[in-house]
Amino acid sequence: MDDEPCAARLSHTSYHARISYRAHSSYGFYRTHASHGSKPSTGPAGPMSPSPHPSLLLLADNLSLRVGSRVLIERLSIAVAVGELWCVLGPNGSGKTTLLHTLAGLRSPDAGVVQLAGRPLAEWDTAAAARLRGLLPQTLHDAFSANALEIVLMGRHPYLSRWGWEGEVDRDLARAALAAVELESLAERDVVTLSGGERQRVGIAALLAQDPPLLLLDEPVAHLDMRHQVVVLRLLRELAVGSNKAIVLSIHDLNLARRFATHALVLGGTPAQGRVDEAMTEATLAAAFGHPVARREIGDRVVFIAE
């Protein structure tokens, strides 16, 4: 990959300087704030069971998903570990959003089980689960006016006690998250006045401020211009590969998926999964989308072209 490493970009925003993760016992992470001596405002952590595989954050086993009488996914098994960025590809209606909602715990699978850190998703209490995984939905709705910084601070709620308020550490993290998506200048803007792409980046910043080990994102770059698609995906790639995160996102752009993802899950027809070189082939993509796809090499980059 010939992109400027995202860590260099983040060093300018102090995002990595403010958040780091270190291994804690046989599972999980604890948070340190390098630029502050104060302790972040956090509520009591829920009980965590050690994972038999410390790097494995998400496991779906024999998952089946249906909407009414329609079968979207049948007997799918997938394991996502830290250091991996999975892209979920497939035509409209193939079950990408339904899968992400199921992995996040917003709906129950029709069959099979989802585990977070070696423990069934249903066994996690709400606050503990929110500190472990976060979801960016495909559509964001604003029921009331608030500025961008206040929206991003919502990502810090899993770390607050019942009557707690955000502290200066939380505000610094929120500002750093806005800077990471190039929105620091709009921190005081009312979100209802933002463009669709700007609002999407505020949502991504809120997920960064939440700072879970597992990030689930439903079409995070769908509303973004070309530059910010690359900025966001480069950021997510670096968080996965360089910062002990695991990321699963849905995306329609095959070339951005091939460029930034480490692994791919291709839905539609018979699902294919694995490292991007293995899962994203002319045959699997053509079968999934019902349309011929050609693979080409331009310099050191692989691109896919719809015939």
The more confident residue out of 162 and 236 is 236
Helix (H, G, I), strand (E, B) or coil at 6: helix
Side chain identity, residue 33: H
Cβ of 180: how many Cβ atoms within 10 Å? Answer: 26
The class of domain 6-276 in CATH terms is alpha beta
Structure token digits, residue 255: 């070339």
pLDDT (0 to 100) of residue 269: 79
Give the rounded percent of residues in the chain with a pLDDT score beyond 70.
82
- Measured distance CA(183)–CA(177) in Å, rounded: 9
Side chain identity at 39, as an amino acid letter?
K
Instruction: With cut-offs at 50, 70 and 90, classify the pLDDT of residue 147.
Output: very high
Q: What is the pLDDT of residues 150-175, one digit of tens each?
A: 999 999 999 998 888 888 999 999 99
Looking at residue 25, its pLDDT comes to 24
Residue 30: strand pairing partners:
22
Q: Classify strands 56-67 and 29-32 as parallel, antiparallel or unpaired.
A: unpaired
Q: Round the average pLDDT of the chain to a whole number and report it.
A: 85
| Residue 107 DSSP one-character state | S
Q: How many CB atoms within 10 Å of residue 251? A: 22
Contact 138, 100 (CB under 8 A): no
The number of angstroms, rounded, from the C-alpha of 75 to the middle of its chain's C-alpha atoms is 23
CA dihedral of residues 39, 45, 48, 51 (deg, nearest 10): -30
How many CB atoms neighbour CB 181 within 10 A? 22
Q: What is the number of other CB atoms lying within 10 angstroms of the CB of residue 144? A: 6
Q: pLDDT tens digit string along 75-84?
A: 999 999 999 9
Delimit the domains of the chain by residue range.
6-276
